[in-house]
Amino acid sequence: MEQEDKDIELIDAYHKGKLSTNEINEFEKRRAADTEFDQKAEDYLHVMAEINTFGEQEFMKKLGSWEEEISGGKTAKVIPLKRILSIAAVIIILMVPIGYLIIQNATQPDSQTLFASYFQPYDDVISQRSGDQSLQEKGLSAYNQQNYRAAIAYFEGHIDENLQDNAIKTYLGISYLAVGEADKAKQWLTGTAQNANGLYKEVSEWYLALTYLKLNEKEKATAQLSAIAKQPDHMFLAQAKELLKELDS
């Protein structure tokens, strides 16, 4: 059990972006060499990505209170991974129907519900998957594993050395949005929506609209979506029109 506790602490630190670059490299080497540990990490990161929509802090608060109740009033330093997975399953099962009913029945759509319905991190379309160990490739690898905290650290390191890389700035903004830090997402996505060209300009415009939604800035979200809807060849034209209808209902 002691080793499992250490593993969970390590995986959680990785998820929250608390590991140094060297520690991240060691973590990834262990995942590659240890199938059981890799599965633990995969389960934990997947659950955290799934519950992010419903609020990770609220989930962990609830998890802590339930663990205290289960353990007779004693708050555990490390909550067993199996408990995290089982409680996450219960919460997700409960929350998904609630979200669906809100969408179906609310006369005034809730911004957070609409955000949860439409937000899906943009696919990695630039990763070389060639064994390249650059900060960009490490960031994209973490991004593809839904470990957005680690991705943020790598992306920011890459941008420090590549100030004009609007593609990675776009993925950085989306990563911040995925972990619920919408203010930082807004900062990066506003810049790329204004300065990027082609693909990443359009991607940034769409995710900036979702960022405004996440921040409950409905007027700005509507304006951004309307601007997209006026571009007949915009890659997110259909989604923007659909979401505008939701906001107007």
Residues 174 and 242 grouped into a single domain: yes
pTM above the 0.85 mark? no
User: Could you say which of 74, 105, 136 is where a domain stops?
Assistant: 105
Provide the number of structural domains found in the chain. 2
Residue 112 domain-assigned?
A: no
Residue range 230-249, pLDDT digits in tens: 998 899 999 999 999 998 87
With tokens 């007779």, the residue in question is 72
Residues 124 and 39 grouped into a single domain: no
Percent of the chain predicted with pLDDT > 90: 45
What is residue 38's predicted lDDT score, i.e. its pLDDT? 86
Structural domain harbouring 138 = 118-248
Residues 93 and 41 grouped into a single domain: yes
Mean per-residue pLDDT of the chain:
80
CATH number at 213 reads: 1.25.40.10
Give whichever of 31-35, 125-129, 145-149, 186-190 has the largest mean pLDDT: 186-190
Residue range 1-19, pLDDT digits in tens: 477 778 878 888 888 788 8
Residues 16 and 94 grouped into a single domain: yes
